[in-house]
């Protein structure tokens, strides 16, 4: 079978690999559509020291069961919640499997989705990580559900309510999804701050209810206050890899405001937050990492019910054109890119 394999440093190639076999408790699935995540793009551009190479990366996909191992009886199309907890540690016992002490993730510790076929680990099947895709949901839509689950995880801490103003940094797929989720929860003003003009134009079309503004220079901070009604915002979400947004976001936060540091920062960072601001504003600052099975279920339900249209964000490429697909993300000509084997 063909797979897009990462060999270390910045070396990727479409490679012929042996067909995976389903061992006891496992299954083999045909990848119908796999989606490229920001993490994959980071590995493609800058390499990753964390991955044991060679490995097939990718963790977002819609797949069709082709072979069941001993003791397994699955059929049909599924998405797999990729971050698999041990089920034993303190976080797992509390249902926060995404915070597992020994998290094993598809496309990181297990071979990933940028391939024609994938072996589904026994742990994923045992712990309920496979979620059935309803017939009316397309392969492409199902393949981009997992990032929505990560946004749901971040917003679970933010308690967005009717009338809130929400500032989102970054107009990529996840910035826009955050905006759509915030609007669903009754946010009155949703502002997306983005430095790239190409991205701003697209975000305006994708989420017409949001105010999309240019944050390339600091004057945008006054614009945020104007839109929010002369004050700051109740909620800030950073969906971009720029540390400066952590500091400026905290500045713009209202009293009792909530902030999610959603996007991780590459490498070392020295964006210290002013803890006195947090103290005097009684602000809350939250982290966010990956998602639970339940949140993947909720995300799929939002898509299946038609409340969230994810298809409008998608550009599709053939798996053999994976390099072109990654390039379209680098050029910002595409918002969310999927690979079809």
116 or 123: CB nearest Zn ion: 123
Of 261, 304, 36, 314, whose CA–CA distance to 153 is shortest? 261
In angstroms, give the least distance from the CB of 92 to Zn ion. Answer: 3
Q: Cβ of residue 284: shortest distance to Zn ion, in angstroms?
A: 25
3-class DSSP assignment, residue 83: strand
Is 339 a binding residue for Zn ion by CB under 5 A? The answer is: no
84 binds Zn ion (CB under 5 A): no
Task: Work out which of 3, 37, 115, 213 binds Zn ion, going by CB under 5 A.
Answer: 37
* Contact region with Zn ion (CB under 5 A), list: 29-37, 71-79, 312-320, 323-331: 29-37
Q: Residue 181 corresponds to which tokens in the numbers above?
A: 């989720």
- Nearer to Zn ion among residue 149 and residue 319 (C-beta): 149
d(CA 254, CA 94): 31
Residue 67's DSSP bridge partners are 28
Phi, psi of 81 (to 5 degrees): -65, 115
Applying CB under 5 A, which of residues 86, 183, 273, 316 lies at the interface with Zn ion?
Answer: 86
Least spacing, CB of residue 241 vs Zn ion, in Å: 14
Residues 17, 45: Cα–Cα separation, whole Å: 23
Q: Whose Cβ is closer to Zn ion: residue 92's or residue 167's?
A: 92
> Is 154 near Zn ion (CB under 5 A)?
no
41 sits near Zn ion (criterion: CB under 5 A):
no
Residue for token pair 């408790």: 25
Distance, in Å, from the CA atom of 3 to the CA atom of 8, rounded to the nearest integer, reads 15
Give the nearest distance from C-beta 158 to Zn ion in angstroms.
Answer: 20
Does 304 sit near Zn ion (CB under 5 A)?
no
Does 85 sit near Zn ion (CB under 5 A)?
yes
Find how far residue 153's CA is from the centre of its chain: 10
Can residue 83 be called a binding residue for Zn ion (CB under 5 A)?
no
Give least dist CB 279 to Zn ion, A: 33
Residue 85 or 257 with smaller CB distance to Zn ion: 85
Distance CA 206, CA 190 (A): 13
Contact 332, 47 (CB under 8 A): no
**Rounded distance between C-alpha atoms, residue 312 and residue 61, angstroms:** 17
What number of other Cβ atoms are within 10 A of residue 19's Cβ? 11
Pick 153 or 245: Cβ nearer Zn ion: 153
- Per-residue binding string, Zn ion, 264-303, x by CB under 5 A, is ----------------------------------------
- Give the residue among 50, 36, 25, 29 at the shortest CA–CA distance from 124: 25
Tell me the closest approach of the beta carbon of residue 35 to Zn ion, in angstroms.
8
Quick check: 196 and 206 in contact, CB under 8 A? no
Residues 89-148 that bind Zn ion (CB under 5 A): 89, 92, 100
How many binding residues for Zn ion (CB under 5 A)?
6
The piece of 83-91, 133-141, 239-247, 332-340 that touches Zn ion (CB under 5 A) is 83-91
What b/e readout covers 74-84, taking b as 16+ CB neighbours within 10 angstroms?
beebbbbbbbb
Taking CA atoms, 49 is separated from 8, 106, 254, 303, 304, in Å, by 8, 17, 39, 34, 37
Q: Which residues contact Zn ion (rule: CB under 5 A)?
A: 37, 85-86, 89, 92, 100
């Amino acid at each position: 079978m063909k797979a897009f394999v990462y060999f270390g440093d910045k070396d990727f190639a479409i490679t012929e690999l042996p067909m995976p076999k389903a061992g006891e408790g496992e299954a083999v699935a045909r990848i119908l559509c796999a989606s490229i995540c920001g993490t994959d793009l980071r590995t493609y551009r800058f390499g990753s020291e964390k991955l044991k190479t060679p490995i097939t990366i990718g963790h977002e996909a819609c797949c069709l069961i082709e072979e069941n191992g001993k003791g397994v009886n699955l059929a049909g199309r599924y998405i797999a919640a990729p971050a698999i907890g041990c089920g034993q540690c303190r976080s797992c016992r509390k249902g926060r499997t995404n915070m597992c002490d020994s998290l094993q993730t598809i496309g990181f510790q297990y071979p990933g989705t940028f391939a024609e076929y994938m072996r589904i680990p026994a742990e994923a099947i045992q712990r309920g990580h496979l979620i059935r895709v309803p017939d009316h949901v397309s392969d492409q839509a199902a393949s981009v559900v997992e990032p929505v689950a990560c946004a749901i995880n971040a917003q679970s801490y933010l308690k967005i309510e009717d009338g809130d103003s929400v500032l989102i940094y970054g107009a990529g797929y996840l910035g826009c999804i955050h905006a759509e989720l915030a609007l669903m929860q009754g946010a009155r003003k949703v502002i997306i701050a983005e430095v790239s003009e190409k991205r701003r134009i697209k975000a305006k079309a994708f989420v017409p209810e949001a105010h999309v503004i240019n944050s390339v220079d600091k004057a945008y901070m006054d614009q945020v206050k104007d839109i929010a009604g002369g004050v700051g915002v109740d909620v800030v979400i950073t969906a971009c890899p720029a540390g400066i947004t952590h500091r400026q976001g905290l500045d713009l936060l209202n009293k009792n405001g909530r902030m999610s540091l959603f996007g991780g920062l590459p490498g070392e960072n020295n964006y210290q937050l002013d803890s006195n601001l947090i103290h005097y504003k009684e602000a809350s600052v939250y982290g966010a990492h990956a998602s639970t099975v339940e949140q993947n279920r909720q995300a799929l339900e939002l898509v299946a019910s038609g409340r969230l249209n994810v298809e409008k964000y998608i550009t599709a490429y053939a798996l053999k054109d994976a390099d072109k697909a990654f390039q379209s993300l680098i050029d910002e000509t595409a918002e969310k890119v999927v690979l079809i084997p």
